[in-house]
Amino acid sequence: MQWKVLKTVPLAEVQSRLRDYEERHGSLSRLHEEFTKGRMPPGMFDDYVEWTSMSHAVRAYQEGEDFEYLADVDLNLSPEDYAKLTPKRLMLLDHLIESHASSINELAAAVDRDVKNVYNDLRTLESLGLISLVKMGRSLVPELLVYEITILLG
């Protein structure tokens, strides 16, 4: 079973990928020129599209917008990891998609569950790379990293 997720890529990782592209291929403007002339090197189109998208996201951030770059990535889950995606944990993901929680206590109250159990479930989801727990003041705030999960059978 193959899992794909639409996931937030952090700014630092995008910047690292941009540096890697520049080291491997030179400048994006040179590659863009090759593309517009129909001389794209074989196998470069996917890199060109990703490089362009990441560059636009960073430029928007530099101009004062919130940083957001989403990418489709494979989520390699072992059978043990797959078993960790219980209905209650999936419900937490679903709730985080629908509304922002400013703390674990707030999330636990919204889903009518014990705070300790919600905390443990969030830690598990964090270990799977589906959320992050960000310290804000004295609270841990659950932030969704994935916006879509696709399961490919066969």
Indicate the fold that domain 77-145 takes in CATH: Arc Repressor Mutant, subunit A (1.10.10)
- Closest by alpha carbon to 116, among 95, 99, 140? 140
Cα–Cα distance, 135 to 154 (Å, whole number): 40
At residue 53, the pLDDT reads 93
* pLDDT for residue 35: 81
- Each residue of 71-115: pLDDT tens digit? 888 888 888 998 999 999 999 999 998 888 899 999 999 999 999
Q: How far is the C-alpha of 76 from the C-alpha of 74, rounded, in Å? A: 6
Each domain of the chain, given as residue ranges in start order, spans 2-73, 77-145
Q: Where are the alpha helices (DSSP H) in the chain?
A: 11-25, 28-36, 45-62, 79-83, 87-98, 104-110, 115-127
